[in-house]
Homo-oligomer: A and B are copies of this chain.
């Protein structure tokens, strides 16, 4: 029922070695006849190599670990799908972990994955990741002994990553709002330890500055990227009557805001122009489709995988840093004032 190389060898009247050599296309010095015979038998028996044994002797598992903070966040969902698909196209399998947005979860996941023999790890770091002790993180990465690269994050540490140009994205969004006559633009930021959140915040400020508009602390609100945090923030934002537009660090928080408004019966789309971040699916189906900054998840996963496989295969061990340019998707949520 479950056949191994030994069974094939027996059936073909050759040695174990020969079978292994043939199935791995390793030695040319075996008669073509036997080669074909062996391959035929292997197919016939539906032979599947025992990966544990292969891993043990070759130290290659063709497994890649993927860690995301929260699979439920549509941006990560999409990213996961791309990564899974592209990895499979390259002959790799995905060992998946949702870290629950915690550094502990990430740490355990990494250790576990390494012990399970993954060939490399793609890590989409949680917001806690960057508040962890930097030295500890670096030793953890070194000790892993396998390449680990960061997605959707930047760092000064000696670690490769691919990230979006967040300040550029936030600037574009801010500009769009300003171009429509808005002057009192609220900003919903994420937590500071998330570098991406900082960068978007910075982009917002830069956007104002570029247009000689004053930056006012009172117009910035802090959430944690969850829909729920947007929900919590809603009353405070609504209270400030000067605000005519909102730029949010991601779509999700805007969703929370919309939900709250719906419950309270306030017509939020009429009151504010809004732009989000991430081009989440569903931003198309809400009451008025959301203008948003698109982060090309497919490109990110392509670049990241290419980078990782290069590290795995070659001894190409320089640390690389790739920045992807975001783009503005204009829909209906931005109006002239």
Contact = CB atoms under 8 A, between A and B. Distances in A.
Interface of A: 1-2, 46, 48-53, 55-56, 61, 63, 66, 70-72, 77-78, 80-81, 84-85, 88, 93-98, 100, 111-112, 114-117, 142-143, 145, 227, 255, 258-259, 262, 281-282, 284-289
Nearest to A61: B52
A223 to B, nearest CB: 15
B72 A100 contact: no
Given A51-B117, A115-B51, A285-B258, A98 B81 contact: yes
A50 B117 contact: yes
How many copies of this chain are found per oligomer?
2
Contact of A93 (B2, B61, B116, B286): B116
Contacts of A63: 95, 116
A287 B284 contact: no
Nearest to A55: B52
Contacts of A56: 50, 52-53, 56
Contact of A259 (B78, B97, B112, B284): B284
A85 B72 CA distance: 12
A88 B93 contact: no
Given A94-B97, A98-B85, A48 B282 contact: no
A287 B282 CA distance: 12
A142 B1 CA distance: 9
Given A72-B78, A72-B81, A145-B1, A94 B93 contact: no
A282 B227 CA distance: 10
Contacts of A115: 48-51
13 contacts: A2-B143, A48-B111, A50-B56, A51-B52, A52-B56, A52-B61, A70-B81, A71-B71, A72-B78, A93-B116, A262-B285, A262-B288, A282-B282
